[in-house]
Structure 1
Amino acid sequence: MKKILVVGSLNMDCVVSVPTMPAPGETIMGSGVDFIPGGKGANQAYAIGKLGGQVQMLGSVGPDALGETLKANLAAVNVDTTGIVVNQAEQTGQAFITLDGQGRNSIIVIGGANQSLTTEMIDQFKQAIADSDIIVMQLEIPLEVVMYVKEYALSLGKTIIVDPAPATKDIPTEFWNGIDYIKPNETELALLTNREGTSKADVLAGARELIAKSVKNVIVTLGEAGCLLVTKDQELTFEPYKVEAVDTTAAGDCFIAGLALSLSKSEKIEDAIRFGQQVSALSVMKKGAQTSVPSIAEMQEKWG
């Protein structure tokens, strides 16, 4: 099994449960508050670890109880946390999530220590990059850090997976070059390619644009419509796995984790995508981010 390195964010999620999303200016009564370990990077590392992968996390937290809790939670599923820096000048990142009765969410992220991650900090852990086979990143840390890690990993011939969330417009052209796998959803893809629509034609056009910018594989997750793989030579549609959604908070992170884990076992991309879909499908049946990640036993019970 190949070694996976996740470079990204760690947040403590404050999840507020509501019957419906409040409209602007509206006050509603919630039904509960939960504090759950999260952050896109940490979620992906946690899921890979819980599913049995060999994984290390690089990131930054503050000198507070939240940071200690996040590190301990990762260590509990055998994630190597020696690359998580404690920044004495910042607080640990937090996310405030409103979750409605249909499992839909809206999220506000306070970056905190995640935004203080620098290329100099990364330099302390270049050996970890060299020792890993697959590098997984997201955009909840500074873009310059993501690009710095990507360029170094590319020079070493590593497999690079990017979850471009939260998506933003006007990303430099050189960002895309050499990425092996990128996984936006249809809304993120529209932002990344400066498009207004999310129809199938828009999705295909956006994916082809990223391929033209030297991304090797574009995987677009489409929610209840499944997902789409676009490469230079083919376009494949993957039907969804039907489940009853409770909370979609970490669905994309679980997909990335399943994808990376399968690739670490040298499985075909089609099988890796299906496994990612299965992990993601089970995750939306539970509430929270890392608390929703399924175990291997749960995966086997559900999917065989």
Structure 2
Amino acid sequence: MPKIAVVGSINLDLVVPVPHHPVPGETVLGGELAEHPGGKGANQAVAAARLGAQVAMVGRVGDDEAGSVLRAALQREGVDVRWVLAESGFRTGRALIAVDRASGENSIIVSPGANTALAPEHCAASGTVLRDADVTLLQQEIPAATVEAAARLAGGTVLLNPAPARSTMTRESLRDLLDMVDILVPNRAELAAMVGHELHDLHAVADAARTLRGPSAVVVTLGADGALLCEEGAVLLVPALAVTPVDTTAAGDAYCGALACAVAEGLPLHEAVRNANATAALATTRPGAQPSLPTRAEVEKLLGHDFLP
């Protein structure tokens, strides 16, 4: 099985369905509160594990009940949690998520908690897990220095999902990070934040992706429009699969986990993107973050062929 190392966040998601997202100063009455395991790092680890990958997670939880619950949830999914440790004096991270009942679109506020304690030295202390992984999967709900340390220690392909976008990142620090990244997977808004201007159409998205120096490939996720793959100067729009969305929470994480799994299995990147499109589409048809992540058999059924065509 392919080996994937995920260095990232672990959160408890607190999810409330709402009739619409409130505007500033507005209060809306939502539905029943649901609690699910979440966090971009943990979601991506579970997504890859459900698709058959051998996954190890490097992260931090609080020394509290939520931390124990989330660590156990990862372990049940087959994720190696030897490097998921409880940090004394911290609460486990939380994500406050409002989901529009009609569109399935979400808005999220993250209280990072123990995720802020994940430090560069913890990456070094993870032994050979980063060096030996076929793919190291990173996001930005942990400190920037830790993301950079993990990328530097990685021995295989480095896949970075630059979410959430860092408005405080300097051009120089961005260049330094991208020099260590092989595959960059932003959405349209994250790519716009990286290049410093709005992207009004797909031509602008493609032009922006081509301006980035460092990664050998950029995969821009476009929601219902699919994904734009920019590789070696060529641009390919890979269409989305038609589904009826219920909740878009963790769709991007499903995408990244699937892409990492397919890359680790040796698929050409255009095939890996098609698999990731299908995985993310399925995730939008169910509520919650980790509860929405599909299995390999479910993805293959939607694709109409094996994960490895």
TM-score bucket (shorter structure): over 0.9
User: 1:121 is matched by which residue type in structure 2?
Assistant: H
Conservation of the 8 A alpha-carbon contact between 1:190 and 1:198: no
Q: When the two structures are aligned, how many residues end up with a matched partner?
A: 299
Q: Distance in 2 between matches of 1:184 and 1:190?
A: 9
CA drift of 1:179 comes to 1.1
CA drift of 1:80 comes to 0.3
CA deviations on 1:8-59 (whole Å, 9 max, x unpaired) are 0000000011111112111221111100100000000011111211100000
TM-score (norm 1): 0.95
The 3-state SS of whatever aligns with 1:126 is coil
What residue number does 1:152 align with? 153
What residue number does 2:189 align with? 187
1:95 aligns with 2:95: yes
Q: Distance in 2 between matches of 1:107 and 1:132?
A: 31
Q: Distance in 1 between matches of 2:269 and 2:298?
A: 23
The 3-state SS of whatever aligns with 1:95 is strand
What residue number does 1:164 align with? 162
TM-score (norm 2): 0.94
What residue number does 2:140 align with? 139
Structure 1 residue runs of 5 or longer lacking an equivalent are: none
CA drift of 1:264 comes to 1.4
The 3-state SS of whatever aligns with 1:139 is coil
What residue number does 1:219 align with? 219
Q: Distance in 1 between matches of 2:73 and 2:208?
A: 37
Map residues 193-208 of structure 1 onto 2, 5 A cutoff: 193-208=195-210
CA deviations on 1:53-83 (whole Å, 9 max, x unpaired) are 1100000001111111111111111100001
Conservation of the 8 A alpha-carbon contact between 2:60 and 2:87: yes
What residue number does 2:228 align with? 228
The 3-state SS of whatever aligns with 1:243 is coil
User: 1:19 is matched by which residue type in structure 2?
Assistant: P
The 3-state SS of whatever aligns with 2:14 is strand
CA drift of 1:143 comes to 0.6
| C-alpha RMSD of the superposition | 1.2
What residue number does 1:289 align with? 289
User: 1:300 is matched by which residue type in structure 2?
Assistant: E
CA deviations on 1:140-165 (whole Å, 9 max, x unpaired) are 00011111111122xx4x11000000
Structure 2 residue runs of 5 or longer lacking an equivalent are: 305-309
Q: Distance in 2 between matches of 1:303 and 1:207?
A: 27
Conservation of the 8 A alpha-carbon contact between 2:124 and 2:153: no
Paired-residue identity, %: 39
Q: Distance in 1 between matches of 2:208 and 2:199?
A: 10
User: 2:276 is matched by which residue type in structure 1?
Assistant: G
Map residues 1-304 of structure 1 onto 2, 5 A cutoff: 1-101=1-101, 102-153=103-154, 156=155, 158-169=156-167, 170-171=169-170, 172=173, 173-210=175-212, 213-304=213-304
Conservation of the 8 A alpha-carbon contact between 1:43 and 1:253: yes
Conservation of the 8 A alpha-carbon contact between 2:219 and 2:227: yes
